[in-house]
């Protein structure tokens, strides 16, 4: 069994990069397509898929090239894998927690828990060589870049949280495609200009930090609703809208409200100690564990939902704590040296 998260680099066109990722995860993707075969038996899913596929061909043809490259590399049917990456057609997902703190005008620190059904067999840290430099992504076979956490050589950092929407738009643009379009951006202004949210299939919260401008914003969106929050102090987000009164708080059984309130409670306590909130404080919050999943922010013990904790600052220093497959280890580096010897030597592996 693997014991470390795979770190790899891909290059070429969007299609060629997709092929390389598909080949690297061929076995996993082929296994995942077995469940997709059952989905095709539902005529409603078939009808929705045809509508969504046409919209993507009209507006996201470039990103479809990357999707089809993955499918070709994994030697699976293109339409099977595309359906897999359009979860709003057939299911609902909820995941992740974010904390961002701006200390004065010059320092931003942040953290993100990546929650989901991940393992060392379907994830990797991937550096995409691009025409402008690079995009580094916490890759999974279930998402596109932007759906988890990523950063690029323009100094931009992206983290996000799904948002529960009571009545999803099953024939809208899947969230993964909306997010993939913006993560190559050079500035927050460019992110906002690229955001195509008016036909979104579900809700999402994207948090963006520009390490050059020392600026962070939090974007919430669904359908024709979009809110942009400028972060100038202490901020947290989980899986429900925090700017629109009257919208559904979260799915029944969710602990989204608990995670948000507990994060803010700790942030306020740290602030009362009259010192700057630092990365260690954010890590302590994101690793908070109660007696049950409903009273925990970190969940590596119960259904084992949390895959990783991602910490960053405006000095472009990054740390990832990975919890996959009963192991926990730490990877530390700056935004540009993902493949340096220093990164490799900083890995620490121990059982949890």
Give the bridge partners for 114, in sequence order: 308
CB distance 74 to 81 below 8 Å: yes
Cα separation of 43 and 38, whole Å? 11
| Backbone angle region of 88, left / alpha / beta, with phi > 0 → left and psi within -120 to 50 → alpha | alpha
Cα separation of 150 and 184, whole Å? 10
For 49-91, how does the pLDDT look when each residue is reduced to its tens digit (9 = 90+)?
999 999 999 999 999 999 999 999 999 999 999 999 999 998 8
For 89-117, how does the pLDDT look when each residue is reduced to its tens digit (9 = 90+)?
988 766 899 999 998 888 999 999 999 88
For 201-251, how does the pLDDT look when each residue is reduced to its tens digit (9 = 90+)?
988 999 999 999 999 999 998 877 889 999 999 999 999 888 876 666 677
Helices (H), 12-129: 14-24, 26-39, 43-59, 61-74, 78-84
Structure tokens at 95: 């995941």
Q: What are phi and psi of 309, to 5 degrees?
A: -115, 130
For 277-293, how does the pLDDT look when each residue is reduced to its tens digit (9 = 90+)?
899 999 999 999 998 88
Cα separation of 96 and 91, whole Å? 17
**What are the residues whose beta carbons fall under 8 Å from the beta carbon of 329, sequence distance 6 or more?**
4, 5, 321, 322, 347, 348, 349, 350
**What are the residues whose beta carbons fall under 8 Å from the beta carbon of 196, sequence distance 6 or more?**
59, 173, 178, 181
For residue 273, pLDDT beyond 80: no
CB distance 322 to 308 below 8 Å: yes
CB distance 159 to 308 below 8 Å: no
Tell me the average pLDDT of the chain. Answer: 88
pLDDT at 2: 59
For residue 164, pLDDT beyond 90: no
Question: Tokens 């090239």 label which residue?
Answer: 65
**DSSP state letters, 264-322:** HHHHHHHHHTTS---HHHHHHHHT---SSGGG-S--SSSS--EEEEEEEETT-EEEEEE
pLDDT at 285: 95
- Cα 3 from chain centre: 22
**What are the residues whose beta carbons fall under 8 Å from the beta carbon of 289, sequence distance 6 or more?**
296, 297, 298, 299, 301
pLDDT at 337: 66
pLDDT at 67: 98
With cut-offs at 50, 70 and 90, classify the pLDDT of residue 346: very low
What residue ranges define each of the domains in the chain, with the CATH number in brackets? 8-85 (no CATH), 97-351 (3.60.60.10)
pLDDT at 333: 67
pLDDT at 246: 63
Cα separation of 218 and 205, whole Å? 7
């Amino acid at each position: 069994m693997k014991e470390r998260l795979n770190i790899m680099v891909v290059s070429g066109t969007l299609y060629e990069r997709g092929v390389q990722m598909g080949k690297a995860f061929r076995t996993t993707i082929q296994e995942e397509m077995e469940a997709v075969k059952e989905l095709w038996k539902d005529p409603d899913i078939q009808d929705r898929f045809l509508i969504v596929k046409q919209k993507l061909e009209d507006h996201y043809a470039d990103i479809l090239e990357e999707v089809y490259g993955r499918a070709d590399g994994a030697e699976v049917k293109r339409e099977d894998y595309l359906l897999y990456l359009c979860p709003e057609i057939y299911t609902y997902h909820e995941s992740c927690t974010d904390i961002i703190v701006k200390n004065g005008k010059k320092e931003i620190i942040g953290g993100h828990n990546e929650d989901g059904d991940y393992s060392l067999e379907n994830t990797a840290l991937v550096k995409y060589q691009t025409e402008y430099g690079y995009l580094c992504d916490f890759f999974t076979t279930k998402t596109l870049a932007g759906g988890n956490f990523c950063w690029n050589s323009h100094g931009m950092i992206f983290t996000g949280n799904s948002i529960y929407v009571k009545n999803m738009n099953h024939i809208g643009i899947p969230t993964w495609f909306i997010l993939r379009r913006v993560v190559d951006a050079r500035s927050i202004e460019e992110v906002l200009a690229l955001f195509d949210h008016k036909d979104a299939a579900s809700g999402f919260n994207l948090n963006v930090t520009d390490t050059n401008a020392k600026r962070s914003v939090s974007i919430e969106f669904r359908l024709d609703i979009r809110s942009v929050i400028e972060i100038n102090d202490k901020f947290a987000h989980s899986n429900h809208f925090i700017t629109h009164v009257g919208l559904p708080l979260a799915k029944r059984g969710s602990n989204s409200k608990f995670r948000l309130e507990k994060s803010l409670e700790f942030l306020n306590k740290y602030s009362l100690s009259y010192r700057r909130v630092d990365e260690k404080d954010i890590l302590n919050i994101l690793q908070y564990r109660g007696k049950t999943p409903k009273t925990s922010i970190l969940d590596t013990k119960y259904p084992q939902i949390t895959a990783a904790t991602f910490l960053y600052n405006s000095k472009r220093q990054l740390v990832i704590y990975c919890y996959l497959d009963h192991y926990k280890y730490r990877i530390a580096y700056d935004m540009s040296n993902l493949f340096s010897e220093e990164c490799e030597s900083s890995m620490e592996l121990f059982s949890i």
